[in-house]
Structure 1
């Protein structure tokens, strides 16, 4: 398929097109972006506002050259829940801020030393199994949401709403055409919501009572909570950046192929990582979940061949506006838990499967004992909930964080480590040019 643009990166759409094109990107990210705060107990309206602010910051830092949208990160679901349980919403925000700082440090190192070191540090044989852990470790949450009523008891009525939502999402994912093929999550939630309303498990009263304009309940450092550094929160949140950094690099490689530019070299991987980290920092300062670039919006770019950064900026502005509309926030809160549980069953499975896909696409050879050992150890430590208690500062490293750290160490220590080639970052045009030469 040709990637010749209808609107190129710096092209400004006509006013009549702009709103429609931006709404497409808003709908593409909407379902997943509101699902994360719903699962971790944060305000979906702040997730929308912080995604808009983060996207605008990302576009500015990347010199308006990279058409990307940044939404809520699924990789941080379990760590945010654990951080909230340990120290409340403030602890989760402090952990999110620290994770954002890691992005800034990595961006600084890449700007000075290049990018090959990070690919050698985070190869697919490490990142793939960690991504699998992310999906499988939160699977019980999705199943519990799907099967139980508000009292936490099994309910066939509630489970039926989850099954209808799941079925609709699968149907939209496989059979839908054009724009509906890239918003299966949102479409599935809408169908599940309608079914839930029909069977009587939706409470519309808060929606009717909500005002059109309402100020979200921002979580502000030094105002909403006391800012204190905690090693426990650090080790809960920061190691997850191992995965999201790799996810970011993967998205930049895919986006480069879609748009026909080499974003690893210009504006540079350091700028896009800094933009991602800045979005996460902004989110932490207002009470939103960590941010990441969204594959859903890359899908919109590929299908529409509209690469204009102005369209992405328009979507960001719309997300900010939506966050202040009380009726929309109340409507999101009125979505029954089993509806979100139904769509989560598929989404969490897709996360785990994407880890498997990374291993397959990277042609990881499990006849090679090195690869087998690394993947096996990561999976069992991560899924088994292993814990390491260090003898100083009462530091506890557990689960996914511990698995990621041990995976990186095994990759560095074990012999036979493959060397990353610069050719893996080439666009198709560069590859053909090199082969011709």
Structure 2
């Protein structure tokens, strides 16, 4: 089908405004949920997503229509880093993740992408993604069922269930734009129900100013940056997931817009864009950024590929972050509302890992694959930890590293890679792993 707007085509003013707001809504629910769960300022997350998107567009020379939002992969690592040494530690860890993205981009530019596919095949990345979702399951259930004192509350659980039900119904039974923003609709619906049962207090909104500077976390102002191997071990190994996810997004986006974005501007450019966006976010107190599948879905429906639309969405996100009333309104969202949405989102994360294994036809009749997946799942979900002096590897990070090692050392890898790269040659591009 013919595009409504080509990538470099500038839309009319009204069209530009509406399409940009649509992309803002598509990413809003998920982007705000991450800081809500990790104790960050949602307004800062909005601003950093806008800044990151503009940086991504600049680095990819305006050739990749993508919006960057908060990465779910880093929810548990951010919480663990903050528990280890405060908010500054999480920001230093995010900065290191951005540097890793940049190094991976450099390696891809100089050596190609096959080494990355060998390091991160579906049998490693799929179970790691499942660990991310399942590892957060208890957090979602606790948010949906417990009151502020951590005790079971039927009222809170009813709010969580209503929010979940609205989100599911919108996702399954609606079409068009609504089907792209079930999380946002679910949060709004759950919020209204929570208001009727007395869980919403508008005092903060009434007292808030229209213009307000968010709670930025700035290095050398709010904390003194320092390197820690423990934080490195908590945050950096998790980068394999958004990198794999990014590759999948670029392949899907290439099909949507009808251009090989992996070839031009190149996978190295888009991964570098992710890295710079994450570095910028870490400098203001926002979570690591990643390309958003929700916004790719919007592109597929609207066929409006104009890069100007994404520039508009990024500018709106930055402006929203400085509106004090908006920030105050976000802070009034009851915990069970976010818990109800999280039940679905974390389950979808786990299911997407399973989907990766199915789509790549991973054979679990093969003992090698069965062993790798089993070890990753139990170590990751079980919360295993390895302490080496002052360095601690735990949960998902440890599971990721062990999964990579098992894939490299267990016999049979060569035959798997032959099939993988045959698929690449048939498709004319790298195999889909996310």
Distance 1:425 1:355, change over 3 A: farther
**Deviation per CA, 1:34-76, whole angstroms, max 9, x where unpaired?**
0000000000000000000000000000010000000000000
User: Are positions 1:196 and 2:204 aligned together?
Assistant: no
Deviation at 1:187, TM superposition (A): 0.3
Mapped to 1, the partners of 2:382 and 2:37 lie a distance apart of: 22
Where does residue 52 of structure 1 map in the other structure? 50
Indicate whether 1:85 and 2:87 are aligned. no
Counterpart pick for 1:406 among 402, 405, 416: 402
Is residue 13 from structure 1 mapped to residue 11 from structure 2 by the alignment?
Answer: yes
| Cα distance change on mapping 1:90 and 1:421 into 2, 3 Å | same
Q: Which stretch has the larger CA shift, 412-421 or 343-352? A: 412-421
Counterpart secondary structure, 1:286: coil
| Other structure's SS at 1:421 match | helix
2:412 equivalent in structure 1: 416
2:331 aligned with 1:326? no
Query: Deviation of residue 192 (structure 1)?
Result: 0.4
Question: Is 1:223 matched with 2:221?
Answer: yes
1:435 corresponds to: none
Deviations 1:75-130 (A, max 9, x none): 00000000001111100000000011000000011110011110111000000000
| 1:70 maps to 2:74 | no
Instruction: Tell me by how many angstroms 1:221 deviates.
Output: 0.5
Whole-Å separation in 2 of the counterparts to 1:143 and 1:426: 44
Superposed counterparts of 1:137-286, under 5 Å? 137-286=135-284
Report deviation, 1:330. 0.5
Cα distance, 1:409 vs structure 2 = 0.8
| Residue matched to 1:377 | 375
Contact 1:84 1:91 in 2 (8 A): yes
User: 2: distance between equivalents of 1:377 and 1:201?
Assistant: 42
Aligned with residue 397 of structure 1, among 351, 375, 393: 393
Which structure 1 segments of 5+ residues have no match? 432-437
Q: Normalised by the size of structure 2, how large is the TM-score?
A: 0.96
**CA distance in 2: counterparts of 1:377 and 1:425, whole angstroms:** 31
| Corresponding position of 2:432 | none
Q: Deviations over 1:279-324 (max 9, x none)?
A: 1000000000111100000000000001111101110000000000
Q: Residue 425 and residue 55 in structure 1: after superposition, are their counterparts in 2 closer, same or farther (change >3 A)?
A: farther
Deviation readout 1:246-287 (Å, 9 max, x if unpaired): 011111111111111111111000000000011100000000
Shift of 1:423: 4.8
Q: Structure 2 matches for 1:31-50, cutoff 5 A?
A: 31-50=29-48
Aligned 8 A contact 1:262 1:426 in 2? no
Q: Cα offset for 1:426?
A: 7.0
| Structure 1 outlier segments of 4+, above 2 Å | 422-427
Shift of 1:424: 2.9
Question: Aligned partners of 1:423, 1:142: CA distance in 2, in Å?
Answer: 38
Distance in 2, matches of 1:157 and 1:413, equals 52
C-alpha displacement of 1:373: 0.9
TM-score (norm 1): 0.96
Q: Which structure 2 residues correspond to residues 285-300 of structure 1 after superposition, within 5 A?
A: 285-300=283-298
